[in-house]
Structure 1
């Protein structure tokens, strides 16, 4: 169990073990949310955003026929220079 003390300014220091667990580094944002059981949970906001983006793009590569780096480059070239 890890314990943090709340300062008069409402600030806490996240314990080192929790920072490592969440992959937090200086300047990162922390997301606080309440789960269905009423507990408040914190997570690395950057990691959460990446997971949401991954979920939003799931299956898109297959739909676009992207299988490798050459396919990605072809799409970039198409956007940059128009269809050839």
Structure 2
């Protein structure tokens, strides 16, 4: 467990060991998620991806698209891409 102090401006330094484990670099954006009285900090790209997947899942469900349909379409796209590369 790592500990950090909140500055008078509300800033918190993410300890170096955690930044390294999560591959956080200067300029990266992070998202703060409050959940059950805890704060979760994650790369904002991870949050954006989860939100995108959740939105797409709901959209597919509303249109009656099944996981099987998606997997079949994915296989077709892979095959098309493979055939294009072989040309």
TM-score, with normalisation over the residues of structure 1? 0.59
Return the alpha-carbon distance in structure 2 between the equivalents of residues 52 and 23 of structure 1.
21
Unaligned runs of 5+ in 1: 74-84
Matches within 5 A, 1:46-65: 46-53=45-52, 56=56, 60=70, 62-63=72-73, 65=76
User: Counterpart in 1 of 2:78?
Assistant: 67
Q: Which residue of 2 aligns with 1:27?
A: 27
Compute the RMSD of aligned alpha carbons: 3.0
| 5+ residue gaps, structure 2 | 58-66
C-alpha contact (below 8 Å) 1:61/1:67 kept by paired residues? no
What secondary structure is seen at the aligned counterpart in 2 of 1:10?
A: coil
Considering fraction of residues, name the structure with more helix. Answer: 2
Q: Which has the higher contact order (CA 8 A, sep 6+)?
A: 1
Corresponding residue for 1:82?
none
Pair 1:5 & 2:5 matched: yes
Task: Please state whether the residue corresponding to 1:34 is helix, strand or coil.
Answer: strand
Worse-matched range after superposition: 11-20 or 47-56: 47-56
Closer/same/farther in 2, CA of residues 21 and 68 from structure 1, 3 Å limit: farther
